[in-house]
Amino acid sequence: MIFRYIYQHTGCSKPFVRLWISSLTDKAIREGLEKLQSGNRYDNLYHSAQARSEADWLIGINATQALSVAAGQGVFSLGRVQTPTLMMICNRYLGNKKFTPTTYWQLKLTTQSGNVPFAAQSTAKYEQQPEAIAALQRAKDAGQCTVENIEKKEIIQEPPLLYDLTTLQKEANTKLNFSADKTLSIAQSLYEKKVMSYPRTGSRYISEDIFEEMPIRIALLVQYPRFDSYAGSLNGCSLNRRSVNDAKVTDHHALIITENLPGELPADERAIYEMVAGRMLEAFSDRCVKDTTSVVLTAGGVEFSVKGSVMKSPGWRAVLSESEKTEENENASLPELNEGDNLTLSGVDLLEKQTKPKPLHTESSLLAAMENAGRELEDAEQKASLKDAGIGTPATRAAIIETLFTRQYIVREKKNLVPTEKGLAVYGIVRDKKIADVEMTGMWENALSKIETGEMNAETFRKSIEVYAAQITTELLGVQLSIPSADECRCPKCQSGRILFYPKVAKCSNVDCTLTVFRNKCEKQLTDKQISELLTKGKTCVIKGFKGKTGKIFDASLSLDEQFNTIFVFPEKKSGTKK
């Protein structure tokens, strides 16, 4: 799209060809130059990109201005993808906070066979404690348990597919606590260093021609200390083809390493490189095979169950030596058991448990929700029509999340994403409006995909967006927005203006008044609530985490001096009595 804009702006009409490559190595560039593609082959891709860009602009600029006008103060940013994403975070947060846990009880039985102890849990979950206690007593009185049923299965686990950007971002957030934006920046750096393929990909597959190069790429990792042994074991072996599918390769293939081994890398870059290299080895490895055993026991008429598993062939799981998470009542292995065996009880315990809400979104779970937005819908028909629809693209999802931080709609609490008062206020206003409709956003993504494949006309899409922009503008101009932390904050300097809250500053609405409070104070971002407290009371409570010029962390209150400049007020040190 960027090229087409320049091409059209200059009035150029000459034919052009396109270099389309997925890595910056000399080999890839040479091969790409030998296979230059006619420019008109990418017309639909251009039309799709232009339609996306114009839709985002039309909706973003109109919705943002409409809500800001309705609010009468500050800037309240809305967007085609940004707002449904905020809705996901707020819905999960409010659902979590409103959740009322329910207490239930289960029994835990311990026994042994052949001097090998193991435990099993009751299949029933008791909602009433007296009922659980009665079952506990019956099991104890029995003194033994009987093996009622044994079921053995061989479980085959296929290796995971290669990484696309979103999957890499999700796992880097879970395993390394990296933000989506940080992971993208690191992947881009590795791409520019010619050691990793193009990062902004939405495909988890490679084509047949790339697959032919995989033995050489894997052999390269014999020289990489962490993977040398495993990579060597794949030499001459038949590689798994699960990640090979020409039809499922989109603009760029899945993330893989290039034929260039990295030299010394910073720790964060090395961690991401090893994730991609490790996943590549996993994807082309054998399947993991294990035997599982499910056992049902009874004691005093109470049924208990337990599962065990034994690894027969680790296959791809041997690459990073990662074991599968076991279920709550699953043992690593069980002793040899036969149906009808009577085992002496070692003990029976009563376990008190509580139901749990869906956890707050992390960046990992939010990326998954954005990628699979259609699954969030309750209506079966809508869910089916948007089965594979996400919101945003792999290249833009990290930027959308960062925008929500910049707008002060969300904050991080450890790994969780939590809405601010401002974010919840916006949510309260727009949650039932068209701008927040996940289904609508998912349908647009489908439409944009159809423009790319030539199944839909871009002009038809644009007209529908213009109609939609008019509808949401009318809706938003009629709302009333109240932010508790910034509501009716009068200017203490001129006494006539009101304070307007912006992403970087808070300032007086009176153009002749010079009152300005910068949000960033010694590397600490002030919230709307803290600024309101400063301007209405003249002083804040103690704020923790300021950083001095020497890097030293300190705590202080903020106050206004006689010229209404912001100054620090340090808490008085408590003097100890000498003995």
Residues serving a catalytic function are: 198
The rounded distance, in Å, linking the Cα atoms of 502 and 155 is 56
The rounded distance, in Å, linking the Cα atoms of 170 and 367 is 7
> Does the CA dihedral 72-75-81-85 come out positive or negative?
negative
Residues composing the chain: 579
List all residues 6 or more positions away from 82 whose beta carbon is below 8 Å from its beta carbon: 60, 400, 403, 404
- How much is the CA Rg of the chain, to the nearest whole Å? 30
What 3 state SS string does 251-291 have?
A: CCCCECECCCCCCCCCHHHHHHHHHHHHHHHHHCCCCEEEE
Q: How many other C-beta atoms can be found within 10 angstroms of the C-beta atom of residue 299?
A: 25
Q: Are 361 and 416 in contact (CB under 8 A)?
A: yes
The DSSP code for 128 is: S
Task: Indicate the residue type of 394.
Answer: P
> Does the CA dihedral 68-70-71-73 come out positive or negative?
positive
Residues forming a β-bridge with 244:
206
Q: Are 566 and 492 in contact (CB under 8 A)?
A: no
Q: What is the DSSP string of 44-61?
A: HHHHHHHHHHHHHHHHHH
Q: Are 254 and 205 in contact (CB under 8 A)?
A: yes
The rounded distance, in Å, linking the Cα atoms of 63 and 473 is 6
Nearest 5°: phi and psi at 145? -125, 155
Q: How many other C-beta atoms can be found within 10 angstroms of the C-beta atom of residue 440?
A: 15
Q: Are 329 and 120 in contact (CB under 8 A)?
A: yes
Closest by CA to 20, choosing from 48, 41, 47, is: 41
The rounded distance, in Å, linking the Cα atoms of 82 and 403 is 8
